Structure 1
């Protein structure tokens, strides 16, 4: 087997591991969207529903369009299923691993594939990349497009051809439409292309001149100095004439690249000009940052209220820019004073929501995933960061300028970031470069190459400003508490699964003692409930509620327990929670609760939570308390346990489907593989149909219409019940 075949097999294995790792994280229960995800999801749903970009008529900024379009296409492909809509992003994440492999190959000063394989392995197992594959965020799409553009430039450097320049411009233009930060790279790329072409021409001319110079050098000593001067003037004139003729090939690649980027971005910019009466190139986030993050006198809530009251994104951006510049003129030193904090923010490790795929912001990560995150996320990040400067010096040994271009992007992005706004996740904008460079460094370590003192000192000078904040500000206390909590929780889960109740309780108590989180108390409550100690279960659930009153899990589990005991009013109060949106309670309860089987559900009465999914908060229509469904909704109903099992059941529903245009609405009702289609109208009616007595999930599918409040409404349901049918 040749080395090339072995490398290809190893790369295939790395991609398989990367895919399995990403699918494992994706297969967890659907996480609760946080940060920019909420905005992206709403805009994507608007696009699918035909509402266009109406979201930004009242939002605080205008966002770059490509990722919302990507997510909208994913939602359309997944038939509106948000969980499955993450799969195209997961495929992009796999492609990114392959692109990082290619990037490391382009940077490697040797012909060996080992640096590229190391880089691909780092990208494959890095938990940050695996997690972001399932997040509804733009970082994975940006990283893929930007890396593809870099690889096009690397290929052009070897082979030439304007086709590769056009492809690079296409990738960079799309990257700009994903995150506009890529704009600052375009002038650097243009200058690099010009410099590279001049270098190519000079290299060719110097080779020819060196041969001529050796031939004429011996004769020049025999001639007077005055005779040599005109000759050199003549040579200079010829060189200048040659250079003039070379201007077109020198500038052509840069011009083609910039023109391609303009062509890619122009449709969105022109759309903005027509829609808002003034032009916005891509987005207005920069204006927002200038006001919101430059020590404003107003709170963020006040800033958001002011901006969201302005209907036009152009006027919004002008207001934000004016307020930010006013504050900056009042205190110009603020520009410099912010730099250390923004620099540190770029390199810090923070325990924020998008570190894990969690059903709620207050949820604890699964114990195993918390431990793996410390190794495959935090530790691996530090190892990549520590090795990247050494890899950069190795890549520069090729003297082909490509590594210099990548370094310029990292420097330019960091410089722009510290002057505006930075977060830890912004490392994604250049993480692919750090990973590729780290692959080179660790390959050198495996080859036991000795470094001279000067390169080591240079690498340390590049490394320490980033590494020291990452280590010094690392959340060590959070890590220690989390490790003990995770180990004890995992032990408790294993004991509970084996029926060792006392040992499980001891482990859960140890977890709560190490880190008193709501999920720790809920684990104790669930254990007590499974063992029939409902009094203790209620006490632990209330401890969890006290720990974090807005936590949906505490309210839902307490409400479910009280409902099971017949304490209906107390259950309704618990389900309402504290500072909880009803939609959040509906969604979480259906995904995470396992309520007692019921054959009848009164929809919208406050006790239906956990029995229905894909429905909206309760409302009153024609004096009937009910809920609207989305295009795909579910009911969790079971046949009465007190009667003999029947082969078939009768499903009855009190249901309606009002529409603004009063058109009839088709509804498909499915259970297992059996589906029934009916037609509904605006008036309430009771429908009955036969369904198999299999499983407990009933699916309702119907077309939707867009309500003024941005909801996509299907049918409206009052109650549903199952009746056994006997021969």
Structure 2
């Protein structure tokens, strides 16, 4: 036996494992200096990351969670999901809703709580690692990896369930570890502390109500609890620990299942995401590639008759899909269609699942949760791109093989409860590796596996450093470690054709190494582009021209830069000529060219130049094109245009781009006479009246509509009007009204920029589902609905 085997886990004394031993004595960590130092490191990393992520909007399921939580906070229950593609497990929406209810419509308290949970997760990893080894280096290294791994530091600022789920998962594992009593003290095998078994069951029940994937893992935990009782199988007493655990978990889950049955019209154990994901996986296999649109369209037809017609017959032979009234019925339809597709071509499904398994271990540099979109434009700060490479991808590829070898070493060297815990970790890994690829696999699905990988990798590092006796039976595990490392890093990618590049650590684009290099070397592009924009607004023609001549700008800015420069210098004709020269077209053909290529920014600039020339009809026609409406480029126009002076803004009248910010796509309203167009605007929306300052008091006149609030509140809330960050007035409207707010003097010739601060609500799921293209996954947070805004002089 090696020195490591002799010293890794010394025999526990009876006193330390008796039920009456204080909890603080069992943990022995409250004043543990290594843990405190690691927590300090984790805290520093999270403080440095605070409010610094390169976000461009909500990603993945954030918008869905926020929408459902808003309705919960308003006391509307889980009814938002009645019209959505699936239903969700309740804990995380409730977690968000509680914060919204207490702190109001701000995400900062949610991020703060999740940051605290992420530090608790670091401590939980430390505690769990101490159950495997009394060598202080093992828990310290494991906790340090947990503290430094970038996703575990960034996810607290993302509205996704991973941080909370991992807290529950680690707590459940730790409770199971505490529940075990050393079998060397008993003749009848391993025994359990029933208190911790019940606590563990309750925690795993909560974890299941956070991520329904955990549901099928509960029987595996029960089997794990039964296994050590080999000597009592004939008396059935071996079932008692498993039953205690399962009954505790079921007591937590069952009330939610009963609620589901009432709200969703049938049996829904936890949620219906499993049915949707099964259908998505089956369609991916049947169609030869992942196509979320096909699955989404199928489910939309189950929800509404207004959905786009399904393109092909279903596997079950349906030519027309009739809407189903309940989520339970839709769950059944998705399950039936998915299973039909799998049974129709099981080989394709098996092949697809193997590909998903490989994807689970590979690195996807442009995954939405990494906020790397547009990295070749220099959008990512150097520190962030470097951290992604070092503290995310590099840590991952180093941990992966060590975790495999460490598990084999731990299984071979440990005995008693520590060895049982190693077995449970292995079960958790195996369960996820089998289940995730059957549905679909993305990088964040491996996050719940990594805390345990850090623990086992730390065990391996300490074992290897102390020296171990290599045996032939370890060779298969070494081979597996090498295989997974090769899959994750793909060093062979350099031999691959450039047009078939792999998502990997090594290799050409889109590998992590190459993408990181592109992100770092492209950073000056972003700096120069922003400097060019600021020079335009400062009327610094010399600097702007020098930056254009240098050429180190984004492709879009290089294309539109000459025209923008002319537009900001009141030379609209020259701006049109510059556009025509850039796109090698006559001026009259530019709108057609932009429509065909869907070049939104160029089309908006063309419309602005026509507006500056007084060609209102041409400007309105161009700015009213459908492809522009679909993109709703309100923020781009606000940032880049210098629109002609005006004292009146007709919102959604196709000529408002450049004058407004923070407003959504316009909508016509024929319920009033004459019909008008409105834009919903969110909290912080702005109205700009260029060169409208007069040096005297003025009145802001707004034609607004407060009827949209009736389904969400007894009356429309007050909207605050700010000028230069100073509150100058408030208004509220419960119907279609004209309101007036007096504004203090603005120096003559300066822009008058008004900011509107208002509470918001999020509409039903159908509204969220209608957001397409660049607006997809972005919930509309509606505050005030405006038809027009006008600035008037005060009559003497």
1:384-442: per-residue Cα shift (whole Å, max 9, x none)? 21221133234433322111111111012211223333233211231221122223334
Name the counterpart of 1:64.
89
Q: Are the counterparts in 2 of residues 604 and 617 from structure 1 also a CA contact under 8 Å?
A: yes
Distance 1:564 1:78, change over 3 A: farther
* CA distance in 1 between partners of 2:388 and 2:421 (Å): 33
SS in 1 for 2:522: helix
SS in 2 for 1:178: coil
Match runs of 1:367-516 below 5 Å: 368=382, 369-396=384-411, 397-399=413-415, 400=418, 401-444=420-463, 447=465, 449-450=467-468, 452-454=470-472, 457-472=475-490, 473-475=502-504, 476-479=508-511, 482-483=515-516, 485-493=518-526, 497=531, 509=552
Deviates more, 1:567-576 or 1:474-483: 567-576
Q: Are the counterparts in 2 of residues 616 and 630 from structure 1 also a CA contact under 8 Å?
A: no
Q: How far apart are 1:360 and its partner, in Å?
A: 8.4
Does structure 1 residue 150 correspond to structure 2 residue 179?
A: no
Aligned partner of 2:62 among 37, 41, 44: 37
Q: How far apart are 1:115 and its partner, in Å?
A: 3.1
SS in 2 for 1:96: helix
Aligned partner of 1:17 among 17, 33, 44: 44
Aligned partner of 1:687 among 725, 740, 746: 740
* CA distance in 2 between partners of 1:436 and 1:716 (Å): 53
Name the counterpart of 2:245.
257
* CA distance in 2 between partners of 1:106 and 1:598 (Å): 70
Distance 1:546 1:640, change over 3 A: closer
Aligned partner of 2:342 among 318, 325, 328: 328
1:91-149: per-residue Cα shift (whole Å, max 9, x none)? 43343333333333333x2331x333333333333333344333332222222211121
* CA distance in 1 between partners of 2:583 and 2:154 (Å): 32
Match runs of 1:582-621 below 5 Å: 582=630, 584-586=632-634, 600-609=648-657, 611-613=660-662, 615=664, 617-620=666-669, 621=672
Does structure 1 residue 701 correspond to structure 2 residue 758?
A: yes
Distance 1:387 1:325, change over 3 A: same
1:450-493: per-residue Cα shift (whole Å, max 9, x none)? 55254752432332343332223435322476455434432345
Q: How far apart are 1:673 and its partner, in Å?
A: 4.6
* CA distance in 1 between partners of 2:332 and 2:138 (Å): 48
Aligned partner of 1:636 among 673, 687, 690: 687
Q: Which runs of 5+ in 2 are unaligned?
A: 1-28, 183-191, 304-322, 491-501, 533-541, 570-574, 585-589, 768-779
Distance 1:407 1:505, change over 3 A: farther
* CA distance in 2 between partners of 1:559 and 1:163 (Å): 70
Name the counterpart of 2:777.
none
Aligned partner of 1:521 among 553, 556, 581: 556
SS in 2 for 1:278: coil
* CA distance in 2 between partners of 1:430 and 1:407 (Å): 10
Name the counterpart of 2:727.
674
How many pairs does the alignment contain?
666
Aligned partner of 2:118 among 90, 93, 97: 93
Q: Are the counterparts in 1 of residues 178 and 193 from structure 2 also a CA contact under 8 Å?
A: no
* CA distance in 1 between partners of 2:421 and 2:549 (Å): 58
Distance 1:4 1:539, change over 3 A: farther
Distance 1:155 1:372, change over 3 A: same
* CA distance in 2 between partners of 1:542 and 1:293 (Å): 43
* CA distance in 2 between partners of 1:717 and 1:378 (Å): 47
Aligned partner of 2:354 among 323, 327, 340: 340
Q: Are the counterparts in 2 of residues 139 and 428 from structure 1 also a CA contact under 8 Å?
A: yes
Q: Are the counterparts in 1 of residues 365 and 515 from structure 2 also a CA contact under 8 Å?
A: no
Please report the TM-score for the alignment, with normalisation by the length of structure 2.
0.71
* CA distance in 2 between partners of 1:195 and 1:177 (Å): 26
* CA distance in 2 between partners of 1:540 and 1:148 (Å): 64
Q: How far apart are 1:692 and its partner, in Å?
A: 7.7
Distance 1:630 1:86, change over 3 A: farther
Name the counterpart of 1:104.
129
Distance 1:626 1:500, change over 3 A: closer
* CA distance in 2 between partners of 1:3 and 1:649 (Å): 63
Distance 1:281 1:523, change over 3 A: farther
Please report the TM-score for the alignment, with normalisation by the length of structure 1.
0.77
Deviates more, 1:164-173 or 1:570-579: 570-579
Name the counterpart of 2:706.
657
Distance 1:523 1:574, change over 3 A: farther
1:645-684: per-residue Cα shift (whole Å, max 9, x none)? x5x6543323343476997645242423535344534242
* CA distance in 2 between partners of 1:106 and 1:554 (Å): 62
Q: How far apart are 1:176 and its partner, in Å?
A: 0.9
Deviates more, 1:425-434 or 1:337-346: 337-346
Aligned partner of 1:300 among 295, 299, 314: 295
Does structure 1 residue 193 correspond to structure 2 residue 225?
A: yes
SS in 2 for 1:669: strand
Q: Are the counterparts in 2 of residues 385 and 434 from structure 1 also a CA contact under 8 Å?
A: yes
Q: Are the counterparts in 2 of residues 21 and 125 from structure 1 also a CA contact under 8 Å?
A: no
* CA distance in 2 between partners of 1:627 and 1:656 (Å): 8
* CA distance in 1 between partners of 2:379 and 2:631 (Å): 23
Deviates more, 1:402-411 or 1:85-94: 85-94
Aligned partner of 1:625 among 653, 665, 676: 676
Q: Are the counterparts in 2 of residues 17 and 124 from structure 1 also a CA contact under 8 Å?
A: no
Q: Are the counterparts in 2 of residues 541 and 554 from structure 1 also a CA contact under 8 Å?
A: no
SS in 1 for 2:718: strand
Q: How far apart are 1:614 and its partner, in Å?
A: 5.0
Does structure 1 residue 7 correspond to structure 2 residue 34?
A: yes
Name the counterpart of 2:572.
none
* CA distance in 2 between partners of 1:616 and 1:330 (Å): 43
Match runs of 1:240-319 below 5 Å: 250-294=238-282, 295-296=285-286, 299-300=294-295, 302-308=297-303, 309-319=323-333
Deviates more, 1:351-360 or 1:375-384: 351-360
Deviates more, 1:425-434 or 1:63-72: 63-72
SS in 2 for 1:95: helix
* CA distance in 1 between partners of 2:349 and 2:482 (Å): 23
Name the counterpart of 1:207.
none
Distance 1:725 1:48, change over 3 A: same
Q: Are the counterparts in 2 of residues 392 and 437 from structure 1 also a CA contact under 8 Å?
A: yes
From the CA coordinates, give the structure whose radius of gyration is larger. 1
Q: Are the counterparts in 2 of residues 575 and 585 from structure 1 also a CA contact under 8 Å?
A: no
Does structure 1 residue 126 correspond to structure 2 residue 161?
A: no
SS in 1 for 2:269: coil
Name the counterpart of 1:48.
73
